[in-house]
Structure 1
Amino acid sequence: MIFLVAGLIASALLLGCLAGPVLDRSQRSAAVPGIAIACWMAALAGTFIAGGGVVAIALLSPPGPGHGFLEWLRDCLPHHGDLAIIMAAAASLVLLTACGSRLARGLPRLVRAVRHRRRHWEMLRLVARQDGRHADVLVLDHPVPVAYSLPARRRAIVVSTGAQDALSPAEFGAVLAHERAHLRQRHHALLLMLDLAHALLPWPPTVRRARARLPLLLEMAADDAAARAWGRRPLVDALRRLAAAPGAAGALGATGGSGPAALVQRVRRLESAEPAKPRKVLRMTASVFVMAAVATPLAVVAMAIAELSTVC
């Protein structure tokens, strides 16, 4: 059991403290944002699985109050001294209090974000009109050029009349392709999960760096989808025309991605030479990392809990 717990702690430290800085320094992230996003999400998932496993084992290990629940009262506790039981109960109370406080902070934040998006959508249904040419677009009568998307079953993309007037047909098509990529790849859900992860566990470097890095990578991934459909030049011109538009809270806009500096980085990336396709070695390495980051902590947690079931 000691080796399994040590393995979980090592996994949490490696993924939570080392993986983030390594991924952040990677020179290939901007060239292959899809692969980088998968690696970041795997590192985050592995960090939480390993951390949660350590907490679960601490609560379930004898003579902790989680071990055996009702059966411990009959079989387990008599085998342990009073001092050990008191110390285990106190440590478990501390762990439960800490986890409860983080959940009490993170879950209401998630609920508020979802509620805000719902109110935003309901307001749009009142003030915006449907676009006859595009089944998934709502048009907002406003002179400022704006384009963004919200997670919704239908009419999830919002554009202003200012954007329709300012953009050429190719530029407008590139913007719509960008927003559709956000919706198709579930970027809104990833950002919600990232925000919840930071609220629950803000200290590990991987979580902090992911919160700073992932929004830009998501925008780059949507840029690539739009560029493949409409070309880079229309997308770059559209981004420049929309650069001064304010962002909508809870939405993903074409000029989003953590501020003006990120937009400049995206434009420079699109204006640079056409990136080469990721090499097979890079794809294989990323696949191995993603599988190992998630599967290893899961396997160790499963083995530890299975061993706990036989230990009293």
Structure 2
Amino acid sequence: MITAVALGGYAALVGTAVPALLSRARWPHRAPVIAVLAWQGLMATFVVATALMVYHLVLTERHVHEGLVGLLGVCGLAAEAPVSESAPTLGDVLALSAPAVIVLLPFGWFVLCTWRARRARQRHLDMLTLVGEPAPGYDATVVDHGAPAVYCLPGRRRRVVVTQAALDVLSDAQMRAVLEHERAHIEGRHHLLHLLIDAFSRAFPGLPLARHAKEQITLLVEMIADDRALRSHSRDALATAMCEVAAGQAPRGALGVGGPGALIRLRRVLAPRPRPHRVTWLGVVVASTVAPLLPLLVACGP
């Protein structure tokens, strides 16, 4: 019971208190890649801690005292597990299914969200074959629309799309800057991060960690793409382009340069701040890696 309480407290801390602190921290916007890793570490930690807590609550007293080895023994996966005189009971099977559901629920939502996003992208790609035209010199597809917008469709049939209004208002330098932003999304497979946080928020609705992670990772992914565009284009070109297309809406399953938090990103592009000290980001990496392992160390205890 003490182990279950400890795991439950750890899961509650990771699922409620830590996300609020991390979302208010200043360093993530200066190191968005490391910040995304931190949020992923929190999500993995919550799932592991919650699953192990449920295991310790519902499993029989005999297997709880045997720790994680007892769990593997019930599954028939641990060769060194203590020998039991009786076969696994129905209660053992049901007990194992409870933590398994917690682990598999986000995975199931991820598969479903991926399927839905792929269908939405496919419908949009089919539409582009009818109304889209190649953009000379930009390796993009142009659609005749009155609102300036630039977005990408990731996946196997990846495509960068610009509206005619965007071509009319953006200069060549601005257009190339936003196109580099979109290619960063495609090459970085950022749509998978969107699917991951969408699945996690659906698996655990109402959880503060899910809400904060979805808001922050969505913004951080855009910052990562901004940083990629700034490697080869000026800050002024990207910032002015962002202002022009900020109101443009990307379809479902696509990633647009306007994106969320456009004002926050605009300030970041025009007034860059130094990256966190090496000790800071190294500590975040270590903490993000170790945090999901701590519940396992607790559960492995006899």
**If the TM-score is normalised by the length of the shorter chain, which range does it land in?**
0.7 to 0.9
Per-residue deviation, 1:77: 6.1
CA shift digits 1:182-210 (9 cap, x unpaired) = 12222111011101001111233212211
**1:288 to 2:286 alignment:** yes
Show the counterpart of 1:18: 17
Mapped partners of 2:291, 2:103: distance in 1: 26
Q: TM-score, normalised by structure 1?
A: 0.77
Per-residue deviation, 1:60: 6.0
Q: Which moved more, 1:151-160 or 1:51-60?
A: 51-60
Show the counterpart of 1:170: 173
Q: Which moved more, 1:3-12 or 1:274-283?
A: 3-12
Q: Indicate which of 139, 144, 148 corresponds to 2:142.
A: 139
Mapped partners of 1:195, 1:155: distance in 2: 21
Q: Which moved more, 1:287-296 or 1:105-114?
A: 105-114
Show the counterpart of 1:128: 132
Give SS of 1:144's match.
coil
> How many residues are matched?
288
Matches for 1:34-45 after TM superposition, within 5 Å: 34-45=33-44
Q: Is the 8 A contact 1:15 1:293 kept in 2?
A: no
CA shift digits 1:149-201 (9 cap, x unpaired) = 12123442111222122111110111011111212222111011101001111
Distance 1:124 1:285, change over 3 A: same
CA shift digits 1:200-235 (9 cap, x unpaired) = 112332122111222112112211221232121111
Show the counterpart of 1:253: 256
Q: Is the 8 A contact 2:51 2:102 kept in 1?
A: no
Q: Which moved more, 1:50-59 or 1:148-157?
A: 50-59
Structure 1 unmatched ranges of 5 or more? 79-84, 308-312
Distance 1:4 1:126, change over 3 A: farther
**1:114 to 2:118 alignment:** yes
Per-residue deviation, 1:75: 3.1
Mapped partners of 2:285, 2:122: distance in 1: 36
Give SS of 1:248's match.
coil
Give SS of 1:225's match.
helix
How high is the sequence identity, in percent, across the aligned residues?
A: 31
Structure 2 unmatched ranges of 5 or more? 64-70, 77-83
Per-residue deviation, 1:8: 3.6
Q: TM-score, normalised by structure 2?
A: 0.80
